[in-house]
Amino acid sequence: MRVLVTGAKGQLGHDVVRLFENAGHHVLPCDRDSLDITHYAMCLERVQQFKPEVIIHCAAYTAVDQAEIDVDTAYAVNAVGTRNMVVAAERVKAKFCYISTDYVFDGTAAKPYHEYDNTNPQSVYGKSKRAGEIVVQSLSSAFFIVRTSWVYGLHGNNFVKTMLKLGQERPILHVVKDQKGSPTYTVDLAVFLLDLIRTEKYGIYHASNSGECTWYEFARSIFEEARDILEYNYPVRVEPCATEDFPRPAPRPRNSTMDHLSIRTNGIRDLRPWRDGLQDFLSILKVSNINQ
């Protein structure tokens, strides 16, 4: 299968390219240097030249706090850029897979969100990603919208790497305990996408590693696993705090947990528990550090 991947140098995009190539697909990786998704004519030209059967649209403006003051750029990438890629996909009759986010919800629900619950994004980032969803739903005839959360992987900066770094520099770390979600390992998400695009079971999906935790619980788990896997012996202590203790320009959802209703009802393999993903990530991180 011919697959075009945008955002190919990002955390998720990098693993999508590697996994899809290993599965025997012909992959065209595109990053911001090789494809400006905000340039309509460029998107049409690149897609019509390659003629993909599937487009995995990982490219996004993800600077959550910066988006609050850089509104135009957030929408130019997440809404207009997505529109450009969808229109191009339609020209060659390609399936379109849009990677979205838990930020399309307001985070006030008492239970995990279903795919078809009402969205109510509170940040510019969340609103711009929801705008991208609407564009996809409106213009694509064969789409998958995949919402995910708390993503981390080997390539790029993320919460796991930040905790490990800060744990070497500070004796005490304060981490919020009143926001909960599901940490998602990019390799596990890429495996899910590989399964999904082989089907014609179009629609909206919630895809994260199964289970839930708070950021505080996630941080503690990172250090617990790192002590065994990475032989990480720094005596860091993780203490809980409230969201209000660390005010940020963009509001964060208090509840980012998402129920995998569509995965179950469509008979697709679910993602494994988040702690299993964390263990594998740390094992790979250890090998990658040795080889660098």
Which residues carry out catalysis? 125
Q: In whole angstroms, give the CA distance from residue 239 to residue 137.
A: 43
Q: In whole angstroms, give the CA distance from residue 126 to residue 106.
A: 9
Q: Report residue 199 as tokens.
A: 């089907």
Q: Please state, in angstroms and as integers, the Cα–Cα distance from residue 92 to each residue in 27, 57, 87, 96, 229, following that order.
A: 16, 15, 9, 11, 46
Q: Under DSSP, is residue 95 helix (H, G, I), strand (E, B) or coil?
A: strand
Beta strands in 163-266 (DSSP E): 172-176, 180-181, 184-185, 203-206, 213-214, 237-241
Q: In whole angstroms, give the CA distance from residue 271 to residue 164.
A: 25
Q: Report residue 106 as tokens.
A: 């307001």
Q: In whole angstroms, give the CA distance from residue 6 to residue 30.
A: 5
Count of CB atoms within 10 A of residue 283's CB?
A: 13
